[in-house]
Structure 1
């Protein structure tokens, strides 16, 4: 079953007006920051993966299409699989140093965590 996003009405408890409609602000799509403005964190993660290691790239700010494009490029350069969702990129295996060097060469602000 898919999780449903709960809708919150800030400050509105009850209205007696029959024609009242609460205007929910539309979620704005974040613009993708330039490579130099991105602050990416690279770490190794094994939690909830049955002991298998993944390289985690977190902190990407931008559209999902740009996240998918970056993930595809990193996966091709490392020659492994992975996925991208919720502003994070998962690369199968321990490729922290290689990913760090690749992203640094492309002009990203990169911080290595745990190595």
Structure 2
């Protein structure tokens, strides 16, 4: 039989990161990202390199171009995603700090990102 003291210790270590009611939650205040009380913008952590790759996993064989590691806040990522989608003439979304553009547009996205910002842009994957 385990003591309740050890269970409460483990419970204190875990934090809610996703809720089916509100989606992603802040690890600090445990509120939905939109209702975060911490007041700090959450920038993606990375090594300063923007990586552009292509992925088909989980998409029924349909390829998407992924842009990871862009050091912008959520609003900046959404604006950049909209600009990239318009330039490629394609749809897409921004999820969890990753810009997804439908189709294989790696070359075009890399060119646009190099012109747009002062980031190091690399192609990841094959």
Q: TM-score, normalised by structure 1?
A: 0.70
Query: What does residue 26 of structure 1 align with?
Result: 38
CA positional deviation for 1:27: 6.0
Distance in 1 (CA, whole Å) between partners of 2:97 and 2:103 is: 19
Distance 1:73 1:7, change over 3 A: closer
Residue segments in structure 2 that go unaligned for 5+ positions in a row:
1-19, 29-36
Q: CA RMSD in A?
A: 2.8
Which structure is richer in relative contact order (CA contacts within 8 A, separation 6 or more)? 1
Distance 1:38 1:75, change over 3 A: farther
Q: Is the 8 A contact 1:61 1:87 kept in 2?
A: no
Residue segments in structure 1 that go unaligned for 5+ positions in a row:
9-24
1:76 matched to 2:86? The reply is yes
Higher Rg: 1
Could you list the per-position Cα deviations for residues 68-97 of structure 1 after superposition, in whole angstroms to 9, with x for gaps in the alignment? 000001011111000012110000000001
Q: TM-score, normalised by structure 2?
A: 0.64
Distance 1:6 1:112, change over 3 A: closer
The one of 105, 109, 116 aligned to 1:106: 116
Aligned length: 96
Q: Which one has a larger percent helix, Structure 1 or Structure 2?
A: 2
